[in-house]
Amino acid sequence: MAEEGKDECPVECPTKQSLPFLEVTCKRSGKIRRFAYGTEAGFAVKFTNKKSEIDGDPGILLASYVEAVKEGEVPVIFGPNAPLVDYGPGWKLQTVLDEEGGAKGRSATTRRVHFVEKDMNDSNPLQKKSHSAISFFYIGKILLAFVLIFIIGGIFTLFLENLPQLIFYINSSV
């Protein structure tokens, strides 16, 4: 039926460039996932892996990154923060499986894609694990600063209180 629609289309048929989304083929499951233009490749990989884990066998390899491929051309690799784009006719977006074996054989809850997870965590400070920035040493530094401020303030106050006497002493000796 789709083949018949190619020849005759009473309403203007959408071309690949006019679609409001991009299609990424999951090499693991063969399913096509649709993403909006500008979606970050890291999100697409995480989403595809999560959906594949829910739908499929937990012992299969996970996707590492997204690449655009075309026969006879060098693949274009998308970094985790790169927006997904369509390179035109003949180019196809697909996920690339983690072939190092790091994810194979582990349970679905403990597997992680090291490439994407590492880069995503390095680029987003909100996703980093926060270490306790407040320690006894830090509190000691703050208390020392307050003590020094009060000592300097006290010395300055004593100087200002005795300034008239100092001026009188200097004027009387001249």
Q: Could you state, in order of their start, the residue ranges of all structural domains in the chain? A: 19-127, 133-174
Between these two residues, 99 and 121, which has the higher pLDDT value? 99
pLDDT for 25-77, tens place per residue?
A: 887 778 888 888 888 888 888 888 887 777 765 666 778 888 889 888 888 88
Mean pLDDT for the stretch of residues 134-155: 94
pLDDT for 110-131, tens place per residue?
A: 334 444 444 444 555 555 555 6
- Least confident among 5-9, 99-103, 107-111, 117-121: 107-111
Amino acid symbol at 11: V
> Does the pTM of the predicted model rise above 0.85?
no
CB atoms within 10 A of CB 53: 17
Statement: 19-127 belongs to CATH 3.10.20.90: yes
**Is there a contact between 108 and 53 (Cβ–Cβ < 8 Å)?**
yes
Q: What percent of the chain has pLDDT over 70?
A: 67
Mean pLDDT for the stretch of residues 81-94: 87
Mean pLDDT for the stretch of residues 139-151: 96
Look at residue 36 in the predicted model and tell me its pLDDT: 86
Q: Which residue in 33, 57, 58, 60 sits closest to 47, CA to CA?
A: 33
Distances (CA, A) of 25 to 33, 49, 101, 168: 6, 12, 21, 90
Amino acid symbol at 87: Y
Distance CA(26)–CA(96), nearest Å, equals: 8
Distances (CA, A) of 134 to 129, 130, 137, 140, 141: 15, 11, 8, 10, 11
Angle at alpha carbon of residue 106, lines to 103 and 110, rounded to 5°: 85
Given a cut of 50, whether residue 157 has pLDDT beyond it is yes
